[in-house]
Structure 1
Amino acid sequence: MRFVVVTGMSGGGKSTAMRMLEDAGFYCVDNLPVPLIEKFVELIAVPGGEVRKVALGLDVRADQSFGEAREILEKLKKNGYVFEVLFMEASDQTLLKRYKETRRMHPLSLDGRIEDGVKKERAILKAIRNESDYVIDTSNLLTRELKEELDRIFVRNEEYHNLMVTVLSFGFKHGIPADADLVFDVRFLPNPFYIDELKHKTGNDKEVQDYVMGFPEAHTFIDKLTDMIEFLIPNYIKEGKYQLVIGIGCTGGKHRSVTLANKLYERMKNKSGYGIKIAHRDMGQGI
């Protein structure tokens, strides 16, 4: 039997993950009272039982101790029960935005500020997060991307990537992405915007790509950038980083940055040890 404990930050996507696991054939139980966890596991793990895949949702509640839940999980492990822990994560900024959009209260901030509840919850969940088998940061994940990640881990049983890299093109005139970890400026290259036949195209068009990559400096830049990123990623993984956003910016975010973001993504996409995706934040912006 495959037994997965799904936990994480409130607003981090635990409920969505549970629904997706249910669609994938898992028998899902959420918000089970802590004292019943041990009995539930004992009943569901009976040899010869019909249930082969189980997901148990655990979260922080104002009226019960999460520490008690962790103690029960440790006891189950000592008694020979095998389970995996999936931790759903998101940045503080993302969590605050989600709570404000839904007008919900954080379970630990019923009498205070949402920020205080998030801070308190992070402290409570720190230990289980560090011990988790999988940590998925949903700050920049689309719903379909989360489904793909869960399917890869729990349906296709493929290798888990504990670092998700996002290569993000953007335009400086629209602002530097707030979530970017690394930012690179490619405005040193000639701008296709001033070429009439290229002005209304983007870095996804071959004509723009040929123009941008027609300059030796573009090749030197992408070579040096790739070398640096390939050096950094193993060290980020070693230090426990789960999310890396690489911002590549030009003036408007339509031509040079898109071209070079695509080139970096192409070089990195087949490497092992991390997951990668590409996004073009400002490519659809008006001129």
Structure 2
Amino acid sequence: MSAEAAVTTRTKPPMRRVAMHLLLIALAIGMLYPLLWMLVSSLRENENIFTSAGLALTDATLDNYVRGWDAQQNSFAIYFRNSFIVTGSVILGNLIACSLTAFAFARMRFRLKALFMGVMLVTIMLPEHVTIVPQYILFSELGWLNTFLPLTVPKFFATDPFFIFLMVQFMRGIPRDIDEAASIDGCGPFQIYWRIMLPLVVPALATTAIFSFIWTWNDFFRPLVFLTDNDLFTVPLAIRLFVDLGGTDWGALFAMSVLSLVPIFVFFVFGQRYLIRGIATTGLK
């Protein structure tokens, strides 16, 4: 066989690989289709939204966005502001509390550490709906209902074990020689955490921030339970207000749904590099 023929044989993609790529492309299209259809529908007139399942757009209009922005009791700017306040507070709480807790589990020695770690891991399997009733009673006694406090304050007490576990695994992959060298130089535990550990676990922190943003921004259940004042509604609750048994303005609903996805898309695009690094290196030593 000539050298040219050998190179052609090696570079020619196998049919199996081509078939796998075609399958993945088909699956990607199937997953993106509902999102694309919602985007197209947000640019259609109400009477034309459900006339076709295709993505062809011949009567594009921005009226749905203009009408939907002020369709509820408050402008959607208020609902976006509320969501950003809650989401930003949750991200800050998770970054501070979960990183401190993870540092204690990963780098410090104390009695019953293994037991506390096991209890923390067990809580990952505990459904949120199991704890919502006692939480509601507690927040009611504190007078926190119909405020942002039930949605934000618990995050400053490391109530998300998934993020603690994520950071613990990441910190365990960092050599302990760094801690010993810092201790010789006179650094205490908090200085090691602040000056050495945090800069080294940036991918894990970014992963925590991204997931906290996505999960909190899309959260419908907890705001529905704790918030009753329309002025405090977050974006998911405001979108729910469009659904009316007497007649739903689907165009405005789809338009505001599209706008609600923009912050998630932007946050993910700018943080995906750290997200991939954080997930890929978690648990490796």
State TM-score, norm by structure 1: 0.25
The higher relative CO (CA closer than 8 Å, separation ≥ 6) is in 2
State TM-score, norm by structure 2: 0.25
Higher helix share: 2
Higher strand share: 1
